[in-house]
């Protein structure tokens, strides 16, 4: 059934979730359908077998996949055996390239774009698939601050969290070798350890433009708008009350990670407040309540900073007079 659908639809989005995140998928899908009523969204359920998944699906364009089918052999099987029972997060992150390759080879798609389920689109995304006519892989930079004096921990994220955000990766049918390498690297190591230059599946993406051809780094700053790029990608409210990035670039999609939501609620990314309110209203329609502290502080950011200053990497840099 999935293969027949792919013949009609040569491109698709995909995401990976645990079953409790299904409402996020539905809200994401609503945003996709605004710009293409026939777009396909393929969803890998990482924590339940098919015979234990009985959730209703109100959308005809969503198709569900399950780990026992996607990871039945090869590197997918190794990733499943290593991570699914010990760390569901590591399994979800590491199985991304496996799922994307599965959709290209067995699903029959020509182009596949992975997106995290906490993303919401505000403008037409068709140009993202068009980029995959000339490029085999499409990455979005984090756009963390290039100026260490503007915000030190944000600048350091370029080195500790990776140059590219793994919440968005696009590929075409010629990206197989790169996907296999990424999957193998994740199976070998998937940890968050700045002292080793590791950030789960994400830091591995740094390698792709160096070791593989036709890797496009998307410079559109309205893609993957998030808390980590609020300095480099300034939010400017236009006369139309829409927010423009650096005054001239429309927002294509916002990545509502915990960091992004925290900074909006703290008032440090206040220009996105109306966008988030709309997103939150949609989530509530599906029964999701986001618990907001009465006096939000910076626990996530503080942990990131403390982790760096307590890492071996910081000790080495300081001993060599580099910090």
Could you give the CA distance from residue 200 to residue 189 in angstroms, rounded to a whole number? 8
- State yes or no: pLDDT of 298 exceeds 80: no
Could you give the CA distance from residue 157 to residue 140 in angstroms, rounded to a whole number? 15
> What percentage of the chain exceeds 90 in pLDDT?
85
pLDDT of res. 252: 98
- State yes or no: pLDDT of 168 exceeds 70: yes
pLDDT of res. 208: 98
Q: Which residue matches tokens 């780094």?
A: 217
pTM of the predicted model as reported, rounded to 2 decimal places: 0.89
pLDDT of res. 133: 98
Does residue 237 contact residue 275 with C-beta atoms inside 8 Å? no
List the domain range (segments joined by +) for residue 51: 2-319
- State yes or no: pLDDT of 284 exceeds 50: yes
pLDDT range class, residue 5, cuts 50, 70, 90: very low
Residue range 34-83, pLDDT digits in tens: 999 999 999 999 999 999 998 889 999 999 999 999 999 999 999 999 99
Structure tokens at 184: 């193998």
Could you give the CA distance from residue 187 to residue 301 in angstroms, rounded to a whole number? 28
pLDDT range class, residue 289, cuts 50, 70, 90: confident
Could you give the CA distance from residue 164 to residue 187 in angstroms, rounded to a whole number? 19
- Count CB-CB contacts under 10 A for residue 184: 15
How many domains, the chain? 1
- State yes or no: pLDDT of 305 exceeds 90: no
pLDDT range class, residue 290, cuts 50, 70, 90: confident
Could you give the CA distance from residue 95 to residue 2 in angstroms, rounded to a whole number? 19
CA torsion angle 76 2 31 110 (round to 10): 70
Residue range 192-224, pLDDT digits in tens: 998 899 999 999 999 999 999 999 999 999 999
pLDDT of res. 320: 55
* Averaged pLDDT of the chain: 91
pLDDT of res. 292: 56
Contacts of 41 (CB under 8 A, 6+ apart): 12, 13, 14, 15, 25, 28, 29, 32, 59, 61, 62, 63
Domain containing 99 — which CATH number? Answer: 3.90.550.10
Residue range 236-259, pLDDT digits in tens: 999 999 999 999 999 999 999 999
Does residue 179 contact residue 114 with C-beta atoms inside 8 Å? no
Residue range 127-163, pLDDT digits in tens: 999 999 999 999 999 999 999 999 999 999 999 999 9
């Amino acid at each position: 059934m999935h293969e027949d659908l792919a013949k009609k639809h040569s491109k698709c989005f995909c995401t990976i979730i645990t079953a409790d995140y299904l409402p996020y998928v539905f809200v994401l899908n609503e945003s996709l359908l605004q710009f293409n009523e026939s777009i396909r969204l393929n969803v890998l359920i990482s924590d339940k077998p098919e015979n234990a998944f009985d959730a209703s699906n109100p959308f005809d364009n969503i198709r569900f996949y399950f780990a026992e089918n996607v990871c039945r052999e090869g590197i997918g099987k190794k990733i499943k055996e290593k991570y699914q029972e010990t760390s569901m997060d590591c399994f979800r992150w590491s199985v991304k390239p496996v799922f994307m390759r599965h959709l290209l080879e067995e699903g029959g798609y020509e182009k596949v774009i992975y997106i995290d389920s906490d993303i919401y689109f505000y403008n037409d995304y068709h140009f993202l698939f068009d980029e995959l006519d000339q490029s085999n892989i499409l990455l979005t930079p984090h756009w963390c601050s290039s100026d260490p004096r503007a915000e030190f921990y944000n600048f350091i994220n370029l080195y500790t969290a990776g140059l590219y955000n793994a919440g968005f990766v696009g590929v075409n049918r010629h990206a197989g070798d790169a996907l296999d390498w990424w999957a193998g690297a994740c199976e070998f190591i998937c940890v968050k350890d700045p002292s080793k230059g590791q950030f789960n599946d994400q830091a591995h993406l740094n390698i792709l433009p160096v070791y593989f051809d036709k890797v496009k780094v998307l410079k559109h700053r309205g893609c993957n708008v998030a808390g980590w790029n609020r300095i480099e990608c300034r939010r400017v409210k236009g006369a139309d009350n829409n927010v423009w990035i650096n005054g001239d670039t429309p927002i294509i999609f916002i990545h509502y990670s915990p960091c992004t939501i925290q900074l909006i609620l703290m008032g440090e990314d206040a220009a996105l407040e109306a966008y988030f309110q709309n997103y939150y209203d949609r989530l509530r329609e599906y029964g999701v309540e986001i618990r907001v502290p009465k006096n939000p502080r910076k626990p996530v950011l503080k942990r990131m900073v403390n982790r760096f200053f307590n890492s071996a990497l910081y000790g080495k840099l300081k001993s060599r007079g580099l910090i």
